[in-house]
């Protein structure tokens, strides 16, 4: 199915959105049109060469969709996923609805220990499973959300798909909070140690929200210590909407935070 979308040329350059442009005649002056072939996300998310090495495991996606009835992944997300799966984006910056600027560190993996992974094992920072590959543990959606203790409340409503750069304090795993590795690890032990991008499965289609790890930790303690039920979790205290749909979110990405303040 083909559809035309009115766009601004400078925005196209910033986001890498154009698949091909057709200059109009007798329509709007100084206006271009983009012709999309109904899977535009592939042109919207590009990653640093060499960072996308492994394909998403369809078993994981199928298992998540069947085991968690709230999950209904956006078809555009699934179509585009192989192009940025586990990758580091070239356009990592975006602003949430409040105007807060965030930077994507990397996209998460849809793999498990039985998946066919590229190259040698990447040692996990998770000290309980340091013999396993970090793509499965520290950066794997299935492992993180399925862990006994995690800030995502077993995927009951929110499901992470990317990690965000996050100011960190020194902890047991990292003596130096400025160590890049500390910012690029999504560890599901007790609490998540960095912020994340999630799908909010309570909306249809699933909206994209920013997950605040520190605020989630407080709610996690309330959940565990006070025996709060899942339907009593105050999600609004630790998530903020970034975009109503995944497609809308991809159009927000830019290569510089300065472009979000002008």
Q: Where would I find the H helices in the chain?
A: 9-15, 41-44, 58-67, 75-84, 141-146, 180-183, 213-225, 246-250
Q: What is the pLDDT of residue 223?
A: 76
Q: Choose the weakest-confidence range: 34-38, 89-93, 224-228.
A: 34-38
Boundaries of every domain in the chain: 1-38, 45-260
Q: 172 versus 148: which is more confidently predicted?
A: 148
**Distance, CA of 143 to CA of 140 (rounded, Å):** 5
pTM of the model: 0.76
Kindly give, in sequence order, each residue whose CB lies less than 8 Å from that of residue 175, ignoring residues fewer than 6 positions away: none
Three-state secondary structure call for residue 241: strand
Q: Give the Cβ contact number of residue 3 at 10 Å.
A: 10
Q: Report pLDDT digits (tens) over 58-104.
A: 999 999 888 877 888 999 999 999 999 999 999 999 999 999 999 99
Please report which confidence band the pLDDT of residue 56 belongs to, taking 50, 70 and 90 as the band edges: very high
Please report which confidence band the pLDDT of residue 6 belongs to, taking 50, 70 and 90 as the band edges: very low
Is residue 29 predicted with pLDDT exceeding 50? no
**Distance, CA of 79 to CA of 35 (rounded, Å):** 18
Is residue 172 predicted with pLDDT exceeding 70? no
Q: What is the pLDDT of residue 159?
A: 93
């Amino acid at each position: 199915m083909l559809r035309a979308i009115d766009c601004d040329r400078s925005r196209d350059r910033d986001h890498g959105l154009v698949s091909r442009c057709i200059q109009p005649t007798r329509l709007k002056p100084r206006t271009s049109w983009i012709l999309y072939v109904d899977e535009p996300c592939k042109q919207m998310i590009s990653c640093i060469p060499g960072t996308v090495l492994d394909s998403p495991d369809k078993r994981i996606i199928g298992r998540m969709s069947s085991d968690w009835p709230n999950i209904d992944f956006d078809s555009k997300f699934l179509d585009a996923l192989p192009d940025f799966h586990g990758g580091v984006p070239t356009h990592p910056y975006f602003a949430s609805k409040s105007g807060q600027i965030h930077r994507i560190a990397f996209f998460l993996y849809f793999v498990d220990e039985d998946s066919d992974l590229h190259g040698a094992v990447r040692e996990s920072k998770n000290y309980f499973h340091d013999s396993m590959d970090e793509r499965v543990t520290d950066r794997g959606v299935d492992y993180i959300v399925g862990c006994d203790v995690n800030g995502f409340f077993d995927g009951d409503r929110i499901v992470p798909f990317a990690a965000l750069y996050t100011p960190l304090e020194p902890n047991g795993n990292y003596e130096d909070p400025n160590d890049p590795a500390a910012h690029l690890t999504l560890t599901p032990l007790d609490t998540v140690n960095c912020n994340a991008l999630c799908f909010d499965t309570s909306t249809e289609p699933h909206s994209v929200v920013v997950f605040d790890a520190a605020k989630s930790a407080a709610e996690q303690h309330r959940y565990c210590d006070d025996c709060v039920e899942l339907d009593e979790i105050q999600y609004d205290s630790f998530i903020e909407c970034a975009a109503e749909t995944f497609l809308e979110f991809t159009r927000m990405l830019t290569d510089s935070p300065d472009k979000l303040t002008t």
